[in-house]
Amino acid sequence: MTETNGKNGRKRLYLGVDIGGTKVQASLVEESGGILGRQRCATPRDGSPDDVLDAIERAMTDVVEKKGLTIDSLAAIGIAVPGVVDPDTARVIVTPNMNLSGVEIGAHLEARFGVPIAVGNDCNLGALGEKWLGSARDAESAMAILVGTGIGGGFVQKGKLWRGARESASEIGHIVMQIDGPMCGCGNRGCLEALASRSAIERDIREAVAAGKSTVLTALLDGDLSVIRSGMLRRAMAAGDELVTKIMHRATEVIGYACLTVRHLLDPDVIVLGGGVVEGNSRFMMPIVESIVASDQLPGAREGGRVLLSALGDDAVVLGAVALARRRIDRSPFKRRFCTHPKYPQLAWVGFGEVAIGKKAYTCDVFITVGGKVKKRDKTSVKQFYGTSHTVGPAELESVCKGGPAMLFVGAGAEGRVELNEEAREFLVQRSICHKVLPTPDAIEAYNGSDQRKAILLHVTC
Ligand SMILES: [Zn+2]
């Protein structure tokens, strides 16, 4: 099915809003899950509830107005809150990191904008997003574990979130992994979050430095180790930093054992790992997690609970918020008749060195994202890195596969010379993305004939 139109022939559009500890992100989303625009603004962490609501409303209004629309033209809005919420009353029960506890956020925003609002916990919605369009798209049941400043999770079964008796299910960050371990922000000791979140990793690095150990981070960050971003951890490990590597290794092991616990407790089809720490360091972390999960000795459990990486990254939460909002207006994306695909262009092989995409001719290498957008391939960077543009690696796939296609076609040139290297194939397997590498004319035919959510990379000229 292609994009469904709403009243007056207008497309049905939604807003997904992710209220984070540092920023509010509002994204304008099509019925197919395509993201039309994003807007961020800073979260007033120490502000009053009204200040936080002002920031949320500003991000919402800005992203819609940038596209020449008004909020009342939207079909529904989903809000992701970092804390405990009651989805039935759209009320925030408690938000530890900002001033929204007790706020009837749904009623407030509905009165303000006149559009149906759905509210959920951010990590729960991240899991729902991965189920809708990400790595868990084909899974009957999925647990997502998001590792950032803190650690959160969500469990989805048959397209529905498992909420628990008090809206507190899936608080994976607070399972105790070490009795009498380090103090956690929640008040308990030895929680997963107190051992493996970015805050825990930062704390361990600072303590080791205070005890006289050295790390390249001291130079990289000018001596200020108060905030160490995930990318910095990656840089330190790439530079051979022993301290950071050791601390990251330990944190990753704890995450691996948490995955085992999830498998033994819930036996999900898949476990999806995401969040800044994992996404920034997946090449280091995934093999460690995979080897722990593969070492499982419990009879019957060994074959289950494949561990995947998030296919949607930062967009998982806003897309989950939209999925929840769509359910609120009885258009759940998990119902077959409301499951729509983006509009894809028709491709044609014109002859050597030329392809037609829709009505336009291209005489260079291009790719078409899962949203149907045509982009030029960055052959210069590929050539610089691999010495040839015939190799496709994971860095290139990051842009080609943005948005989580179920299927990637690769047109390998008329003679089929382009190849995915081993890391690129691993990138796809880890995100549950199927792929086919074919000579370009055949890839075009396969792409045109496929009714999956798809992307294609086309080698056209040498
Ligand atoms: Zn805790």
Q: Over the stretch 221-269, which tens digit does the pLDDT of each residue have?
A: 999 999 999 999 999 999 999 999 999 999 999 999 999 999 999 999 9
Pair 265, 153: CB distance under 8 Å:
no
228 Cα–ligand 1 center, Å: 21
Q: Cα(312)–Cα(3) distance, rounded to whole angstroms?
A: 21
164 Cα–ligand 1 center, Å: 18
Q: Cα(267)–Cα(263) distance, rounded to whole angstroms?
A: 4
pLDDT at 1: 42
Residue 131's identity, in one-letter code, is: K
Q: Cα(61)–Cα(59) distance, rounded to whole angstroms?
A: 6
183 Cα–ligand 1 center, Å: 8
What residues does the ion ligand 1 have nearby, CB within 5 Å?
174, 184, 186, 188, 191
Residue 17's identity, in one-letter code, is: V
195 Cα–ligand 1 center, Å: 10
151 Cα–ligand 1 center, Å: 9
84 Cα–ligand 1 center, Å: 14
Q: What is the DSSP string of 107-172?
A: HHHHHHH-S-EEEEEHHHHHHHHHHHHSTTTT-SEEEEEEESSSEEEEEEETTEE---TTS-TT-G
Low-confidence ranges of the chain (pLDDT < 70): 1-11, 304
Of 316, 2, 267, 286, the closest CA to residue 135 belongs to 316
pLDDT at 11: 67
pLDDT at 274: 97
- Under DSSP, the state recorded for 92 is E
Q: Cα(230)–Cα(6) distance, rounded to whole angstroms?
A: 42
pLDDT at 10: 55
* Complete domains list, the chain, with CATH: 7-127+315-338 (3.30.420.40), 135-309 (3.30.420.40), 347-458 (3.40.1230.10)
Identify the bridge partners of residue 409 per DSSP, sorted by sequence position: 436, 456
The model's pLDDT over 80-120, given as tens digits with 9 standing for 90+, comes to 999 999 989 999 999 888 899 999 999 999 999 999 999 99
405 Cα–ligand 1 center, Å: 35
83 Cα–ligand 1 center, Å: 13
191 Cα–ligand 1 center, Å: 5
174 Cα–ligand 1 center, Å: 4
227 Cα–ligand 1 center, Å: 20
353 Cα–ligand 1 center, Å: 58
